[in-house]
Amino acid sequence: DTWRYAFEEALEEVQGKFAQKFKEEIEANSDHEVQLFPFGTLGESADTMEQAQAGILQFVDQSPGFTGALIPEAQVFFVPYLLPQDEETLQEFFRTSTAINEMFPELYAEQGLELLTMFPEGEVCMSTQEPVHSPADLNEVKFRVMTNPLLVESYQAFGATPTPLPWGEVYGALQTGIIQGQENPGFFLESTKMYEVTDVITCIGHNNFTTAVMANKQFYDGLPEEDQLLIQSATDAAFDYILDYQAGLQEESLQNIREAKPEMQVNILSEEERKPFMDTAVQVEEAFIDMTGERGKAILDQMKEDLEQASQATSG
Ligand code: 6CS
């Protein structure tokens, strides 16, 4: 039989690479076929999530940035400076986190989804028309964020005017001046040619783009154990593959952008310049707890514990 799998990016972008590896593993080890639906073939992220919940799709990759209404707790990934900037610690965290591997699956299950994995896609940087060296520089900047209330809080705290939009509208909105900024990991800034419609890239180390892959739960629960194990091992293989695939990708992408547009400014802010952005974390954390209550707080606390353990495991 054929399993349908949609994701939010193109085939040769990170989510597409993950999906291709997953497909390869499933097809090499079973008679099942996986049909891939890249961004744009079935609508925006909100559409593919509905299709996955309805069972029209068996698999979907949807980033927490679009899961705000469905699973508010997943917004924890938008507390600035929560995730470590050190690559090794970050990867250890995603591999071992109790919050990710035990708590989030329960929340996704309530929405009819079997959470298979979450993985990082790279450091998020801003791309804007004018240089950004402090929150004051974001004043009056209409800044596109994914459709997620906590990201709105976060960019408000950064001094901007956050404007939630689905991905498909971003390039056009920058071109026509409806917005003047957006954020994304380096590879995506390059592949989607954000440098054509913005002039400055600013990295402040505030986040790493997290995404999630899930199956329709009814479909998954109805599978024989052997197929569930097949899906688990294909997920594990794709997870390892995608972390390896990303080694050096951020720097390489920023370099390619500089080559494609030599006048592009790429600014990596200093610790001192980052400070006022870092100071907003407390306020965004509070907003997160206001939005999600006890359950959100439990996830946040667990994540902090997991991060601490990941950091200890990788520093010694
Ligand atoms: O900014 C966005 O909406 C998109 N960014 C990435 C890296 N992946 C998919 C998502 O739709």
pLDDT digits (tens, 9 = 90+) for 13-65: 999 999 999 999 999 999 999 999 999 999 999 999 999 999 999 999 999 99
CA of 8 from ligand 1 middle (Å) equals: 7
Q: Is the CB of 87 under 6 A from ligand 1?
A: no
Q: What is the pLDDT of residue 137?
A: 98
Residue in the structure block whose two tokens are 């990788």 = 314
Mean pLDDT of the chain: 98
Domains of the chain in start order, with CATH, are 2-315 (3.40.190.170)
Q: Is the CB of 117 under 6 A from ligand 1?
A: no
pLDDT single digits (tens) 104-114: 999 999 999 99
Q: What is the pLDDT of residue 21?
A: 99
| Residue 134 CB neighbours (<10 A) | 15
Q: What is the pLDDT of residue 53?
A: 97
- Phi/psi region, residue 291 (left: phi>0; alpha: psi -120 to 50; beta: rest), is alpha
Packing angle, helices 281-315 and 87-96, rounded to 10: 90
User: Band of the pLDDT at 127, cuts 50, 70, 90?
Assistant: very high
Residue 201 has pLDDT above 60, yes or no: yes
Q: Is the CB of 189 under 6 A from ligand 1?
A: no
Average pLDDT over every residue of 1-11: 98
CA of 31 from ligand 1 middle (Å) equals: 32
pLDDT single digits (tens) 151-197: 999 999 999 999 999 999 999 999 999 999 999 999 999 999 999 99
- Please report the atom of ligand 1 found closest to the CA of residue 144: 1
Measure the CA–CA gap between 66 and 152, rounded to whole angstroms. 12
pLDDT single digits (tens) 205-262: 999 999 999 999 999 999 999 999 999 999 999 999 999 999 999 999 999 999 999 9
CA of 226 from ligand 1 middle (Å) equals: 33
Question: Closest by alpha carbon to 99, among 238, 210, 13, 228?
Answer: 210
Report the SS3 class of residue 143: strand
Q: Is the CB of 148 under 6 A from ligand 1?
A: no
Measure the CA–CA gap between 131 and 133, rounded to whole angstroms. 7
- Please report the atom of ligand 1 found closest to the CA of residue 15: 8
On the 0-12 / 13-18 / 19+ scale of CB atoms within 10 A, 250 is buried
Residue 316 has pLDDT above 60, yes or no: no
CA of 57 from ligand 1 middle (Å) equals: 20
CA of 213 from ligand 1 middle (Å) equals: 14
